[in-house]
Amino acid sequence: MRILVVEDDANLAAQLVEGIHAAGYVVDVAGSGSDAHFMGDTEPYDAVVLDIGLPQMDGITVLKKWRAAGRTMPVLILTARDTWHEKVAGIDAGADADDYLTKPFQMEELLARLRALIRRAGGHASTELVCGPLTLDTRSRRASVDGTALALTSHEYLVLAYLMHHQGEIVSRGELIEHIYAQDFDRDSNTVEVFIARLRKKLPPGLIETERGLGYRLTKAQ
């Protein structure tokens, strides 16, 4: 799961990156509206934490541009002003944010909202994602098969979580790379194969299918 944090205050941005990263997400940071717009427009993010008060281009404008360009990732806006006018502007009036959080906020609150957004975007009602015998608890970041916990590395968790959020869909290797690595990471598509191979060993057989030339698909095992 790859998250874009848009915050112009360096201290707060660093805290956000730290907190979100610690929760098991891959995080990119943008410090200005125009950077944010470019990144959100070109990179696939699973969610965005967007501050409204930004230099160059305010958060609402950035969001409206994304939405106008057909970018539908869930967005959590951070507002300094606790006014409904700003919340309505961010959520209802064409900007279409998914939730808001007023500064100062607590990191737990932000992470809970973020998880909820990602889950809702995948069409899942609960914090627990289930695929056959496999269960993934996004809150505690634990995966289990028939109640038995799996020991997963952070990258293995990221690959599995992404597949779980997109059950039944074909997920290409490139897509996986984009969602498990931050922007400036040196990417190597072979590593994805390594993670898939390791996951297959830990999971019941047949859960992860390979569609030749297209990618992978998580299906309920027969």
Partner 1 sequence: MNPFSLRGSLRLRLLVSTLFWIILSIIVAGWGLGKLFHQHVEAQFVAELKNHLDQLTAQLLLNEQNQPQLKIAPSDPRLNKPLSGLYWQIGQLDNTNHPEEKVLLRSRSLWDETLSVPTDILADGEIHQHRIDGPHARDPIRHPPVLEISQEQIDHPLPRREGTAWLTALDQLARFQRIFHLKAPAQDAGVVLRVLERSVTIHSHTLRLMVAADESQMAEPVMNFKGQLWLALVILGAGLTLAALMQVMIGLAPLKSLHAALGRVRNGDTQKMEGTFPSEIMPLVNEFNSVLVQNAAVVERARTQAGNLAHALKTPLSVLANAANSPQKKEDKLAHLVLAQVNAVRKQADYHLSRAQAAASVLLPGMRTPVKAVVQGLVRVMQRVYAERNLEFELFPVDEALAFRGEEQDLQEMLGNLIDNASKWATSRIEIQVECILGKLSVRIDDDGRGIAEKERVHLIKRGVRADEKVPGTGLGLAIVEDLANMYGGELSLKKSHLGGLSASLTLPVA
Which residues lie near partner 1 (CB under 8 A)? 9, 11-12, 15, 19, 51, 53, 80-85, 87-88, 91-93, 98-100, 102-107, 109, 116, 120
169 Cβ contact list (under 8 Å, min separation 6): 217
**Shortest Å, Cβ 17 to partner 1:** 11
Please report how close the Cβ of residue 76 comes to partner 1 at its closest, in angstroms: 11
Min separation Cβ 20 and partner 1, Å = 12
Q: Nearer Cβ to partner 1, position 104 or 213? A: 104
Cβ nearer to partner 1, comparing 9 with 169: 9
Give the tokens for residue 102: 């007023």
Q: State in angstroms the smallest separation of the CB of 151 from partner 1.
A: 22
Are 86 and 52 in contact by the 8 Å Cβ rule? The answer is yes
Beta strand spans in the chain (E): 2-6, 26-30, 47-51, 75-79, 99-102, 128-131, 134-137, 142-145, 148-149, 170-171, 208-211, 215-218
CA 111 to chain centre: 11
How far is Cα 8 from Cα 180, in angstroms, rounded to an integer? Answer: 24
* Beta strand pairing call for 128-131 and 75-79: unpaired
Which CB atom, from 15 or from 219, has the smaller least distance to partner 1?
Answer: 15
For partner 1, the closer of residues 91 and 145 by Cβ is 91
CB of 222: closest distance to partner 1 in angstroms?
33
Task: Assess contact for 133 and 220: CB atoms under 8 A.
Answer: no
- Nearer Cβ to partner 1, position 114 or 116? 116
Taking each helix axis from N to C end, the angle separating 189-202 and 154-165, rounded to the nearest 10 degrees, works out to 80
